[in-house]
Structure formats: structure tokens, C-alpha cells
Amino acid sequence: MNFDIEEEHFTVFNLLLLLLVWANTAYLLVIFLRPVLPMLITTLLILCGLALTLAMVVITLYASVQWIRHHNLGWWFLIGLIVLFILSYGLESTVKNIFIREQIFRQEQPR
């Protein structure tokens, strides 16, 4: 197996995948080695994971905005966001309503 990375084939997806692997590695080291590692190293690993995660978010948002601009999908993207907001709000309201009804039902049950 050849693990050399050629520069002309290194894409944004590969960069995001690499950042994801490093961030998850830092988080897994914290989870599994917390009793063994000193507090300073644990804190540094958490901060490193957070920085890598933040970098992934920024790169993903930037690439998404560039892709939307390139394909002239601004209005469709806005409409999609509005539809997703309405769907998520409806789902949240439904779950909250079910939870409240369950709480009322439990309170009315004879003990």
C-alpha cells in the first residue's frame, strides 16, 4: 500500500477527512486515557480537538457558500433553510407535546 498524498489530488474533502480523524483521535485519547494522562495534557487534547472541529466547521461553511454561489442556488438554499426550520419546529413541538401529555398522564395515575 502506498500512502503518499499527491498535491494535485488533495481535495477539500481529503482535508476535512484528515481534520475529522485528528479531532476524533484527540477526543478518543481523552476518553480512554483520562485516568492516566495529567490534567494539562487532557486539557490540551480537548482544546486541540475543539480547534480542529472549529476548523472543519469553518472550512465546510466556506466551501458550501462557494458551491452555492457557483451554482446560483442562493434562493433555493434560503427556501430550503426555511422549510428545514418549519419542519424542525414542528417536530420539536410534537415531541414537546407528547412529553407534556405523558407527564400529565403520569400525574393522573393512581399510585
Interatomic CA distance for residues 48 and 57, integer angstroms: 14
How many other β-carbons are positioned within 10 Å of the β-carbon of residue 3? Answer: 4
Q: What is the domain count for the chain? A: 2
Structural domain of residue 55, as residue ranges? Answer: 1-71
Residues 39 and 83 in one domain: no
Band (8; pLDDT cuts 50, 70, 90): low
Residues 32 and 82 in one domain: no
Q: What is the pLDDT of residues 19-51, one digit of tens each?
A: 999 999 999 999 999 999 999 999 999 999 999
- Total-model pTM: 0.65
Residues 58 and 81 in one domain: no
